[in-house]
């Protein structure tokens, strides 16, 4: 992943929902975050870049990427957010075949149909709450990860994937207009390789962008 992607996303950072989440300098995750960035900037193949570094905890590696993908997809949505409103996108969908309903433990205890911008705003708030929760994402290395950590990360990344689906299917023309197609493709490929390597998003979910994935990722390098 070149610096061009980060430059593109940062150009729209004022449109993001919330401040970028950062790692504490000197912490294990800060080190892993820097390691991951260096691997991407070096031009390392995505398949290799997502591999767990030697002698590191896989949960720390996953935690770092969950936060990074949250930051990037939040910025990505910011590039088209002014064109995504309750009139243009009355439902959180990915074409006619896929519609995503919102459910949480607070105000939406049953799956609820919502406009795309409302769904995405609730999603980003929900993720931010989770990654700020020391019980879910412990920062202290002496505190173990909860038993449901992988399940939670899978849910977070699955929901973030749905933002990719909505943006690609409903706002792709806008991405082309602002010169963002190649950058978003790069971000998506990194995301895809990571979630398939660690089996964090089901194939059933990934099928929503099956045709795009076939174009962007060689079949011999993808995972079925």
Q: Which residues of 70-99 are buried (b: 16+ CB within 10 A; e: fewer)?
A: bbbbbbbbbbbbeebeeeebeebbbeeebe
- Which of 123, 16, 20, 8 is closest to 78 using CA atoms? 16
102 within 8 A of 92, measured Cβ to Cβ: yes
**224's tokens:** 């079925």
CA distance 39 to 205: 28
- 187 labeled binding residue: no
Mapped onto helix, strand or coil, the DSSP state of residue 93 is strand
- 65 labeled binding residue: no
CA distance 111 to 120: 15
Helix (H) or strand (E) holding 162: helix 149-177
Residue ranges at the known binding site: 84, 89, 166, 171
Residue ranges at the known binding site for Zn(2+): 84, 89, 166, 171
């Amino acid at each position: 992943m070149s610096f061009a992607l980060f430059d593109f996303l940062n150009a729209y950072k004022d449109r993001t929902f919330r401040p970028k989440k950062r790692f504490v300098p000197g912490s294990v995750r800060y080190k892993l975050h820097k390691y991951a960035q260096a691997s991407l900037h070096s031009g390392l193949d995505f398949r290799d870049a997502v591999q767990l570094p030697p002698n590191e905890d896989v949960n720390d590696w996953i935690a770092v990427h969950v936060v990074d993908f949250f930051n990037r997809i939040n910025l990505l949505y910011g590039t088209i957010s002014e064109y995504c409103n309750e009139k243009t996108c009355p439902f959180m969908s990915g074409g006619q075949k896929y519609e995503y309903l919102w459910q949480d433990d607070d105000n939406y205890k049953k799956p609820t149909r919502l406009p795309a911008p409302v769904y995405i705003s609730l999603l980003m708030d929900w993720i931010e709450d989770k990654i700020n929760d020391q019980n879910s994402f412990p920062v202290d290395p002496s505190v173990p990860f909860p038993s449901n950590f992988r399940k939670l990360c899978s849910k977070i990344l699955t929901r973030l994937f749905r933002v990719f689906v909505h943006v690609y299917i409903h706002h792709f023309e806008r991405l082309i207009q602002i010169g963002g197609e190649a950058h978003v493709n790069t971000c998506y490929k990194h995301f895809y390789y990571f979630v398939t390597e660690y089996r964090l998003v089901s194939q059933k979910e990934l099928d929503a962008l099956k045709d795009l994935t076939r174009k962007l990722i060689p079949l011999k390098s993808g995972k079925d």
